[in-house]
Amino acid sequence: MQLKLSRNCISCLIVFITGSVCENKQNFGSAEQHPAEKDARLDVLVGGDLWVFVVIVSKLYPFNGGVLALKPIFPKWMNALPTILFFVVHGGVVLVIAGVWYYATPKFWEVGYMPTQPSTGFNHQIHAGKLGLDCRYCHTHVEESWHSNVPAVSTCMGCHAENKLNVDLASATDEKVQFIRDAYEQDKPIEWRNIHVVPDYATFPHNAHVNAGVSCYSCHGQIQGMPVVAQVESLSMGWCLDCHRNPTDNLVPKDKVTDLFWVETEWFNKTKTDKDGNVVLDGAGQPVLEPRDTAERTHNGWTPEELTATLLRNPPLSCAACHY
């Protein structure tokens, strides 16, 4: 309807202009002939055509209180469009920020990282858990080096040479450890894949932390119970700073640094009991653990506060402590 009315107005305007031009050429000739009479007749003609044009427009668009009653081009609901766009745009910005805040973090991308190791891998649950090997038997320099070294093939061969396997351990078969013997024979290292990776722009001295009383459990989780090692902590800057700000809650007795089961069940946690004093078991029949308050921790007379007092200095919080 709106399109039709607009076309009518345009048509009237064309008729008005065309009629004026035709009257001028037919009745008066050239511009040099009868100039005064022509101008007078043209004034009357233009005024009349203009009046006709106004009348036609008023019929098509009637006046309402002195204002042309023009039909709106856009529907009324479009008045709410600016408000809708405001919430859509700002809501999108909030969602993007929240998504980056949650997903673009080491806690989301790195926790749970479990790469496939060469051949049959290395089962910490058997070696460190069932057999009770101390972490330092393989990671020999962890107390004196900034890096926790990976054991040489010769260390593995000390147990996995031919005729040295315990036949009572069903999982310890010659086929599973053959890749170790092959590497030893070829004088090549086993290319274990690194799991806990500190960025090149940061430093983490293992010796300083181990000697201060930071257990392997605090950073690596319960390694002694892992058939395949996975990353359990984010190792992000914020996570490190939380520990540095509150060392008392995170230190363990120095003679228990590598005893991960004791650290988990006796120092940081305790067995949960009901109101009658009975041990609460989970669905697998294992005791349920609950956090132990820092004030309840003690070992050979050592309390968490006394362990903190043995530190040579307070854990640093400056950027230069880790980035240099």
Tokens of 22: 């035709």
The pLDDT of residue 2 is: 47
The pLDDT of residue 78 is: 86
- Phi and psi dihedrals of 291, rounded to 5? -60, 140
The pLDDT of residue 297 is: 96
Residue 26 pLDDT grade (very low, low, confident, very high; cuts 50, 70, 90): very low
Between 298 and 54, where is the model more confident?
298
User: CA 251, CA 309: separation in Å to the nearest integer?
Assistant: 11
The pLDDT of residue 28 is: 46
219 Rama sector, left if φ>0, alpha if ψ -120 to 50, beta otherwise: alpha
- Model pTM above 0.85: no
**3-state secondary structure at position 256:** helix
What's the chain's average pLDDT? 83
Q: What are the tens digits of pLDDT across the range 6-22?
A: 555 555 555 555 555 55
Do the beta carbons of residue 252 and residue 211 sit within 8 Å?
Answer: no
**3-state secondary structure at position 68:** strand
Q: What are the tens digits of pLDDT across the range 43-86?
A: 555 555 555 555 555 555 554 554 555 667 778 888 899 999 99
The pLDDT of residue 233 is: 95
The pLDDT of residue 257 is: 96
Residue 115 pLDDT grade (very low, low, confident, very high; cuts 50, 70, 90): very high
Is 80 exceeded by the pLDDT of residue 126? yes
Do the beta carbons of residue 143 and residue 136 sit within 8 Å?
Answer: yes
The pLDDT of residue 25 is: 45
- Give 110: exposed, middle or buried? Use CB within 10 Å, 0-12, 13-18, 19+: middle
Between 49 and 189, where is the model more confident?
189
**3-state secondary structure at position 31:** coil
The rounded Cα 278 to chain-centroid distance in angstroms is 42
Do the beta carbons of residue 149 and residue 194 sit within 8 Å?
Answer: no
For residues 145-149, average pLDDT: 91
User: CA 232, CA 222: separation in Å to the nearest integer?
Assistant: 9
Percentage, residues of the chain above pLDDT 70: 76
For residues 185-197, average pLDDT: 94
Tokens of 106: 């080491």
User: CA 263, CA 269: separation in Å to the nearest integer?
Assistant: 8
Q: Between the CA of residue 43 and those of 18, 209, 233, 317, what are the distances in Å?
A: 15, 103, 93, 92
Q: Which of 27-31, 57-61, 270-274, 276-280 bottoms out in mean pLDDT, i.e. has the lowest?
A: 27-31
For residues 87-96, average pLDDT: 96
Do the beta carbons of residue 193 and residue 121 sit within 8 Å?
Answer: no
Residue spans of the domains in the chain: they are 2-68, 125-148+198-321, 151-191
For 173-225, give the DSSP string.
-HHHHHHHHHHHHTT----PPP-S---TT----HHHHHHHT--HHHHH--GGG
B/e letters for 194-226, b = 16+ CB within 10 Å, e = fewer, are eeeeeeeeeebebeebbbbbbbbbbbbbbbbeb
